[in-house]
Chains A and B, each alone.
Chain A
Amino acid sequence: MACAITERTERPFSSLRRWTIAAGMVLFLSPLALVPQLVGEVNMCGAVCPRLFMIIPSSGVLAGLRDKVAAEWFGASLVAVSLLVTFFLGRLWCGHLCPIGGASEYVSRLVPRRLRISFAFLAAPWFRYAYFAVFVAGVWLGIGAIGCKLCNYRIIPFLAGAPFVPGYRTYLLSSVGLAGLMTVVLTGFLADGGRAYCSLLCPVGALDGIVNALSAKLGWTAKTRTDPELCVGCGECVKACMVSALELDDECKSRRDQSSCMSCKECVKVCAHGAIRYGRS
């Protein structure tokens, strides 16, 4: 049975998320960049980087992980705490605090709808974990390192700091900077929902998604869940989802991919039938 979904209107953006994401941006991005400065950095690279420690070096998994975690200790700690929170409460870092995905989401809402690009046609989990596998194991397998190339944790802080730091402007105008900038613009600022980078390319999001999907199988963990008995198949949740984690199945019931769901809870608010709620199953 084909399930009809009407034209998408502007996605909801709860006031709670507006404030928490704005707080994340103030804490992590220029001009204040309070958290990076606390640990002796000026942006989200170096010790604050939450990604590079995941790359397995040619020296091996354990030795490499020890060195990497020592170098990027704050970023690794941030990811560890994020995964712990995700296990019990869902992806609160991704959906409510991440200044990078949040900045993309903010900007994408300023873009006229006709210019936005939808990546909903992709089977996001398959794309995400294929890219993640290359990101993590590329060096170890002798292929090479994606590393900082295309990294939005580099591009967006550099964009925020560009008015103040000439070096950031120089980087953004270099070939590698322009390539990263283009990736961020297309999969972030111009993406429908502003979160295509988060859904397809972010290594932190990929790890978070695995933990969210596995812990969702435990009924006592708090997740955004759908009760199929109450779902009437109106599709409002599908339209509200910024990462295309929801779809209507063959029986016109809302079905959720927990590895993509960012626990933003916007779908809970738009469900007029009380079929979606956040909590234990």
Chain B
Amino acid sequence: MAGPDALRRALCGAAGVLLGLLPLARCPGGACLSCGGCAAAAAVAGLAGLGSWMRRRRTV
């Protein structure tokens, strides 16, 4: 949580809400369980990718 600022906090809050809403998404696919989990998992993967990329740019 280095260098917290208002914009970062607001973006993280928005990302939290978004991740909460993604499991509620509905896929029109027939075999799909319509759980929306794939969308949420994709969002988590995106966050993880961003974290991995930022880790390479920073010491800690």
Q: Which residues of A pack against B, CB within 8 Å?
A: 5-8, 116-124, 126-135, 138, 143-146, 149-150, 174-176, 178-180, 182-183, 186-187, 190-192, 200-201, 235, 238-239, 244-245, 247, 257, 260
Contact = CB atoms under 8 A, between A and B. Distances in A.
Contacts of B12: 122-124, 126-127, 130
B9 A149 contact: no
Contact of A123 (B1, B33, B48): B1
Nearest to B55: A118
A8 to B, nearest CB: 5
A187 B55 CA distance: 15
A244 B33 CA distance: 36
28 contacts: A5-B59, A5-B60, A7-B59, A117-B51, A118-B51, A119-B48, A120-B1, A120-B51, A121-B54, A122-B51, A127-B16, A127-B19, A129-B16, A130-B15, A130-B16, A130-B17, A134-B17, A149-B23, A175-B33, A175-B38, A176-B33, A179-B38, A180-B37, A183-B44, A187-B44, A235-B60, A239-B60, A260-B1
A128 B48 CA distance: 16
A235 to B, nearest CB: 8
Contacts of A116: 55
B33 A117 contact: no
Nearest to A119: B51
A29 to B, nearest CB: 22
B39 to A, nearest CB: 8
Interface of B: 1-2, 4, 8-10, 12-17, 19-21, 23-24, 32-33, 35-38, 40-41, 44-45, 47-48, 50-52, 54-55, 59-60
Given A134-B20, A143-B21, A126 B13 contact: yes
Given A127-B15, A135-B20, A244-B1, A121 B38 contact: no
Given A117-B48, A138-B20, A180-B41, 5 more contacts: A175-B32, A175-B33, A176-B33, A179-B35, A247-B4
A175 B35 contact: yes
A179 B52 CA distance: 20
Contact of A138 (B9, B14, B16, B24): B24
A146 B20 contact: yes
A180 B47 CA distance: 15
The 7 closest A-B pairs by CB, nearest first: A134-B20, A179-B37, A130-B16, A144-B24, A131-B16, A179-B41, A118-B55
B44 A121 contact: no
Contact of A134 (B2, B8, B9, B21): B21
A118 B1 contact: no
Contact of A192 (B2, B20, B55): B55
Contacts of A146: 20, 23-24
Contacts of B50: 121
A114 to B, nearest CB: 9
A150 B23 CA distance: 8
